[in-house]
Amino acid sequence: MSTNHDSKKIVLQAKIFDFALTDLVIRHRNSFEPFWTLDSWAKFLIWMTLNCGLSGEGESLELFADALGPSLSKRMRRIFFERTLENLSIRLMADPAESKVLVMSLRGASQITEDQAALALDRVGLVQRVELDRSSWEVFDAMISIPWKSSSIGS
């Protein structure tokens, strides 16, 4: 086998892994309540730990987290807390560890309206968790930044 062939195999394996992991997170992220919370993320990680044959004990959870590493963990978390609403041309990033929810246009610099953002929040079930007072929203051309309700942060 040539080095070029081996390199292509490694790249293909990485793409397969990325595809499978992305699909796994997307398929199961709505199985852990309360949605859009750090608790749901923790439950997802525990579920993954158990399905990898480890126990739910602290030592096993730490081993699993170490095995993921910061890069993979960050990628999975982004997938877990991100939604794409193609019909609205919106990408929504709502990680409760961040101070704000970001509603962005999928069309690059295309403008996004507050009404579109509100509709996206409603469709993904975030209305009860964010500030609905639009005066607290920061509106840019292709993005709107919306604060979490203070009672929702981190929970």
pLDDT in tens, 99-126: 999 999 998 777 899 999 999 999 999 9
pLDDT in tens, 51-83: 999 998 999 999 999 999 999 999 999 999 999
3-state secondary structure 4-48: HHHHHHHHHHHHHHHHHHHHHHHHHHHHCCCCCCHHHHHHHHHHH
Q: Are strands 90-93 and 100-105 parallel, antiparallel or unpaired?
A: antiparallel
Which positions ≥6 away from 88 have C-beta within 8 Å? 116, 119, 120, 123
> What is the structure's pLDDT at 6?
87
Query: Is residue 149 pLDDT above 90, yes or no?
Result: yes
> What is the structure's pLDDT at 154?
52
> What is the structure's pLDDT at 1?
63
- How confident is residue 42, by pLDDT bands cut at 50, 70 and 90? very high
Q: What pTM value is reported for the model?
A: 0.88
